[in-house]
Amino acid sequence: MSEGNNSSAFPKGVNYLFLFFFFNFISCLPLMGSPMLLYAESLGASAKITGVIFGLTPLMVALQIPAAGYVSQSGYKRFIVTGWTIRLIFVLPLIAVPLLHGRISQEAQLAIVIGSLFCFNLIRGIASTAWFPWITGLIPENIRGRYLTWENACYSLGSLLCLLLSALLLGSNPPSAKFTGLFTFSLITGLISLWFVYQVPDAPVNPEEVSHKEPAPWREILRHSSFRKLLGVHFVWAILIGGLMPFIVKYLKGPVGMDYDSVIYADAAKYLGGLVTLWFLHSRLDRLGSRPLMMLAGAAWFIIVLALIGMSSHLIEAKMVVVC
């Protein structure tokens, strides 16, 4: 991640981007991962409600389509920073809800949680529209594979650290007040991540995009066979793994009977796996390309899903080491 004059070095300011990723995922995971699903379950959320909560994040990403026409008018960095700042406002109700335990009904608490997460993911989905244009403008094409490897490392390391700290904080059977501490931690790390993203330089916006706002040529885009194939892959992949996390949390907490911290430790294992693959991807992604590695990852996921099916069917004992 050193800076220099050679073409293989990351541009100036990108190091701050990696630190942003690290703290951003520490901030997001208590709200978008297993800790939030466990908190919702403690409020009596059904499997359907748990699925709705987890589905808010990918659902709101669809708002990138109508928001795309406005990104170039404000600039990529400003669009991201504004959205990331506003979304933190909706963490405040989540901090307050656990303190209302015993004062309002669990149904009312759950309604506030769902409403806050809806707004949080709504703003996040809109703001993330500027992310890929910004990164594309900052990172030269010849080092994007290496950049994505480091990005994945920061994502995995931040997520792993977040879940380990969450498990230590919550313990085996946490009182509701401990979730207030966890969500406060999420807010603080979110503010830290904002400071780092402020330090990243903006990417230039094409003046023609600002002065000539035109609707996206969807018909022409859909005529490209490569785009249709990629769209199909994403659609099928989303169906196959979209509900995996809520299922795992419900299964481990319910039929298996794991404690809160054990479920979170099991969730943390996948990010440890992401870090382990760093050495493999670092020197190969730019050389081999994405397709072979995606096929390898797909095969690994297929084996994992078979193992989960075996455990849920009682063909394989759901021991902690097997789950991880």
Q: What is the pLDDT of residue 290?
A: 67
Best-predicted range by mean pLDDT among 4-8, 35-39, 44-48?
A: 35-39
Residue 256 near residue 318, CB atoms below 8 Å: yes
pTM equals 0.84
Instruction: Please check the confidence at residue 7 and state whether its pLDDT lies above 60.
Output: no
Position with higher pLDDT, 322 vs 49: 49
197-250 residue pLDDT tens = 999 988 877 665 555 566 666 777 778 887 788 788 778 877 777 777 888 888
Domain-wise residue ranges, the chain: 14-213+232-323
In this prediction, residue 196 has a pLDDT band, given cuts at 50, 70 and 90, of very high
pLDDT in tens, 270-320: 888 778 777 666 666 656 666 777 777 778 878 888 887 888 777 777 777
Query: Which band of pLDDT confidence, cut at 50, 70 and 90, is reported for residue 127?
Result: very high
Instruction: Give backbone dihedrals phi and psi of 81, rounded to 5 degrees, phi first.
Output: -60, -40
Q: How many CA atoms lie within 13 A of 166 on its CB side?
A: 36
Percent with pLDDT over 90 in the chain: 37
DSSP alpha helices (H): ranges in the chain? Answer: 14-32, 34-42, 47-61, 64-74, 76-89, 91-96, 106-127, 131-138, 144-170, 176-198, 207-211, 218-223, 225-241, 244-253, 260-276, 278-282, 285-288, 290-312, 320-323
Which distant-in-sequence residues (6+ apart) come within 8 Å of 239 by Cβ? Answer: none
Is pLDDT above 70 for 137? Answer: yes
- Residue 43 pLDDT: 92
**Class of the 14-213+232-323 domain?**
mainly alpha
- pLDDT at residue number 3: 43
Burial (CB count <10 Å: 0-12, 13-18, 19+), residue 267? buried
Q: What percent of the chain has pLDDT over 70?
A: 89
